[in-house]
Amino acid sequence: MAMNKSHAPASQKGVLGMLIDDHREAQKLFKDFKSAEDDRSKEEIVRHACSALTAHTKIEEEHFYPFLREADPETFGSLLDEARVEHASAKELIARLQAMKPADDLYDAHFTVLGEYTNHHITEEEDELFKKVIDKDIDLRELEEPMQDTRRQALSAKPQG
Ligand SMILES: [Fe+2]
Ligand SMILES: [Fe+2]
């Protein structure tokens, strides 16, 4: 079930809200792709989604995940291990998509599968990981600024390929 960011307490709202907004944006792009009518708009959506997902996985891997692992390895360790494996699969599909053109065989299939992986991963994060963060009352405020900085840098970097 989709998590509503208004459920998070003040010490978590900034960080969880940022991640949840990213999740909703990605889900919207995967949905938009289904109704895209020409190669140009497909390519635009894919480019946007790949750069947004790359920035999102980066801020999670560089800040959010290590912070939780350190805060409570017992509670978060195995969930975070799974999350990293899921990110790795997504990154592989993103790299392949960035080297493809809409006319290529399996272009649509790659993006559709990336959407399925992403939706699965988002559900696990929001239903399990974020829920535990809220239950354990982990104060995330110190992550807000560094996460925003990393996101800005990642989004202004040129995509590869
Ligand atoms: Fe996420
Ligand atoms: Fe993630």
Looking at the CA of 16, which ligand is closest?
Answer: 1
Q: What is the mean pLDDT of residues 32-61?
A: 97
d(Cα 29, Cα 26) in Å, to the nearest integer?
A: 5
d(Cα 83, Cα 86) in Å, to the nearest integer?
A: 5
Full domain range(s) for residue 149: 12-156
* Ligand 1 center–CA 122 separation, angstroms: 6
Please answer whether residues 58 and 154 qualify as being in contact, where contact means their C-beta atoms are separated by less than 8 angstroms. Answer: yes
At 64-121, the pLDDT tens digits run 999 999 999 999 999 999 999 999 999 999 999 999 999 999 999 999 999 999 999 9
* Ligand 1 center–CA 87 separation, angstroms: 9
Residues with Cβ within 8 Å of 80's Cβ and at least 6 positions away in sequence, in order, are 65, 68, 69, 129
Asked if the structure places residue 51 within a domain, the reply is yes
Residues with Cβ within 8 Å of 18's Cβ and at least 6 positions away in sequence, in order, are 59, 144, 147, 148, 151
Looking at the CA of 126, which ligand is closest?
Answer: 1
CA distances from 118 to 4, 56, 140 (A): 18, 11, 24
CB atoms within 10 A of CB 108: 15
Asked if the structure places residue 134 within a domain, the reply is yes
Asked if the structure places residue 5 within a domain, the reply is no
Asked if the structure places residue 34 within a domain, the reply is yes
* Ligand 1 center–CA 57 separation, angstroms: 7
Q: Is the pLDDT of residue 6 over 90?
A: no
Mean of pLDDT over the chain: 94
Q: Which pair of structure tokens corresponds to residue 61?
A: 């891997």
Question: How many folded domains does the chain comprise?
Answer: 1
Q: Is the pLDDT of residue 44 over 60?
A: yes
Q: Could you tell me the pLDDT band of residue 34, with boundaries at 50, 70 and 90?
A: very high
* Ligand 1 center–CA 115 separation, angstroms: 13
Q: What is the mean pLDDT of residues 25-37?
A: 97
* Ligand 2 center–CA 44 separation, angstroms: 23
Residue with more model confidence, 114 or 10: 114
Asked if the structure places residue 2 within a domain, the reply is no
* Ligand 1 center–CA 65 separation, angstroms: 10
Q: Could you tell me the pLDDT band of residue 9, with boundaries at 50, 70 and 90?
A: confident
Asked if the structure places residue 79 within a domain, the reply is yes
Asked if the structure places residue 3 within a domain, the reply is no
Would you state the pLDDT for residue 161? 43
Asked if the structure places residue 85 within a domain, the reply is yes
